[in-house]
Amino acid sequence: MLDAKLKGQLATYLENLTSQVELRIAVDEQHQAKKSAEISDLANEIAELSPLVNVVAQTKSDVRKPSMEVVSVKNNTSVTFAGVPMGHEFTSLVLALLNSGGHPVKISEEQVAEIKALSGSYQFETYVSLSCQTCPGVVQALNVLSVINPNITNTMIDGSLFQEEVSQRNIMSVPSVYLNGELFTQGAVTIDKILTKIDPQADAKQAESLNDKDPYDMLIVGGGPAGAAAAIYAARKGIRTGIVAEKFGGQVTDTMAIENFISVKATEGPKLVTGLEQHVKDYNVDIMDNNKAVKLSKDGLINIELENGARLSSKTVMLATGARWREMNVPGEQRYRGAGVAYCPHCDGPLFKGKRVAVIGGGNSGIEAALDLANIVEHVTVLEFDSKLRADDVLQRKAKAAKNIDIVLNAMTTEVVGDGTRVTGLIYQDRVSQVSKNVELAGIFVQIGLVPNSEWLKGDIALTARGEIEVGQRGETSIEGVFAAGDVTTAPYKQIIIAMGDGANAALGAFDYLLRAPSAESANDSEQAA
């Protein structure tokens, strides 16, 4: 299961264990013989690397097979992997081993105390696909809760392996998290968000903590490439810098392959985000993750109000809230979102194995999605609104050569059709003949561009008709002291490396503004002299 290089790396990690870890293996040699053999081999290979890890047979009868339960013998805590935790979930397994074996979790003491204080029983089940890049973050967050509080458990479930279960629960999007048998959340979620949902006092506690913070010299709203670059450039100037963001990394965390980031031949979104976050943390930047900005105002200082009621103030503000996938805005889309309507082919594609799907959009993202899905699903129909595809020629040639990809041009999607539970098809209109056609399918992957995350700024700052923040050469906006960068702005090209450059440029512009702006002290002196 593990090559020599990976074994060597894992052996080094396992040297951090301080207490006994048990790997309890449940196998089904009749129906899942291959995967059962894989998980047994994986467990035994891990045990060979440390004297503090041993493998035993699972004694519980009501467990999924194949599965591996990672148990802290000392603390009587556990996390479970139903399926073989390789691919993106291998990191989740390594962290579970370390944390179960006494290596401290990398969260604040306040969070540890809050998790320990939770009463009641919390049994989480997290459905994932091993190709999903968002899933490991959710699995790892829930695993952290499980290794701290013995009343909390989490089971990672490989949806492609437990297809019958996925069908019964009508799971068509990952990650999907269940708590005590009921749907808890779908999509990315962090420890703070989890605690907020299960601890009614969490929001108030967080708001109180944020309200106590002193004003910043530069406050950055958004934790994507633009925000991270701005934070590093600002902090290097020695000024008090903070980042407030819903999710550090932004949309990059959902990006599969990145092959145009200069100096790196190829990387993946989550890997790049990890590097960005670590680089930011190397400087004295106050990161306030899992917080959504809802209002901007100015009263001498610039104020950012958050969804939880907290208020942060700063001498300058950098807006780098990025963009999100554009929606079709047709009947049925919202109703069946997560029930056949999806926006991440890498995440949700494996759930549609052997089924018929559609991709909306014929740009690079759409054709890349179609090619990716063609290796998993039975058939892909690409629907493009325009009279021609907009994807690169090389992608078009590959798509046209694929036997299970059909391309329909001049197609305007008008409705998502379902049976009340899940998607069963869609209706599109031929823009030339005006004839409506029905396509039977199980999934729809929407790939039609981006929408700037700027709704909360309407009426307070100059925006284009598309909702992009209007910026000058230094990233300045219509409000003095407020700057912006990245995909949320009028920058013509939405690329990771360009967003980083924009962030650096705007941060330098904001710093220049700080140098030239009169200080509060000098302003007060002038008023007194007058």
> Which helix (H) or strand (E) element contains residue 192?
helix 191-198
- Residues 6 or more apart whose CB falls under 8 angstroms from that of 485 comprise 226, 227, 229, 230, 318, 319, 320, 471, 475, 491, 499, 502, 503, 505, 506, 507
Alpha-carbon distance of 377 to 219, in angstroms, equals: 45
Reading phi first (left if > 0) and then psi (alpha if -120 to 50, else beta), residue 361 is in left
Alpha-carbon distance of 501 to 495, in angstroms, equals: 10
User: Has 348 been annotated as catalytic?
Assistant: yes
Q: Which of 192, 203, 254, 348 is catalytic?
A: 348
What's 403-459 look like in SS3? CCEEEECCEEEEEEEECCCCEEEEEEEECCCCCEEEEECCEEEECCCEEECCHHHCC
Count other C-beta atoms under 10 Å from residue 247's C-beta: 24
User: Has 214 been annotated as catalytic?
Assistant: no
Alpha-carbon distance of 442 to 177, in angstroms, equals: 22
Alpha carbon distance, N-terminus to C-terminus of the chain: 78
Q: Which of 347, 372, 487, 502 is catalytic?
A: 347
Asked whether the beta carbons of 75 and 103 are under 8 A apart, the reply is no
Alpha-carbon distance of 279 to 236, in angstroms, equals: 12
Alpha-carbon distance of 110 to 100, in angstroms, equals: 20
Count other C-beta atoms under 10 Å from residue 275's C-beta: 13
Q: Which of 344, 372, 487, 502 is catalytic?
A: 344
User: Has 135 been annotated as catalytic?
Assistant: no
Give the 3-state secondary structure percentages of the chain, helix then strand then coil, rounded to 5. Answer: 35, 25, 40
- Give the catalytic positions in this structure: 344, 347-348
